[in-house]
Amino acid sequence: MVSWMISRSVVLVFGTLYPAYYSYKAVKTKNVKEYVRWMMYWIVFALYTVVETITDLTVAWFPLYYEMKIAFVIWLLSPYTRGASLIYRKCLHPLLSSREREIDEYIVQAKERSYETMVTFGKQGLSIAATAAVSAAVKASTAELHQSTPSLLALTFLM
C-alpha cells in the first residue's frame, strides 16, 4: 500500500506536473526544440497511462512493480536518457506513421457512431420523459377525480 502511494505521488508530480510546467514554458517561449521534446513525451506518457491502467489490474502483485513504475517514469523524463524521445522515435512514430490512415478512418467512424448513438439515446430519453409526464398527469387527474367523487355522492345522498 505504501509503495502504491509513493508510486502514485511520483507519477503525478514527476510524470504529470513537472512536464506540464515545462510544456507551458516551451509554448510560452516558442522554443520549437523543447516543444517537440514535450510533445513526444506526452504522446509516450499517454501510451504509458493506458498500459499502466491494464497492468495495475493484472500484474500489480509482482514484486517491485511500483518501484519499476517510478524508475520508468523517471527514465522517460530524464534529460540524460531521453527515454520518451527514444520510445517515440524508435517505436511509436514508425507505428503511427504506418497506421495513420487506418486510425483516422476509425476516429471518423467512431465520431459518426457516437453522434448517432447520442441522437438515439436522446430520442429514447425524450420518449421516456414524455411518457412519464403523461402518466403523471393522468394519475393526478384521476386522484383529483376520486377526491371530488365522494363529496358529490354525499351531496346527492343528502338531497
Nearest to 3 by CA among 73, 75, 64: 64
Indicate the number of domains in the chain: 2
* Per-residue pLDDT at 145: 63
Do residues 62 and 117 share a domain? no
Do residues 155 and 125 share a domain? yes
Instruction: Tell whether the model's pLDDT for residue 104 goes beyond 80.
Output: yes
* Per-residue pLDDT at 54: 93
Domain span holding position 148: 101-159
Final residue of a domain: which of 50, 81, 112?
Answer: 81
Do residues 115 and 61 share a domain? no
Mean residue pLDDT across the chain: 85
Whether pTM > 0.85 for this model: the answer is no
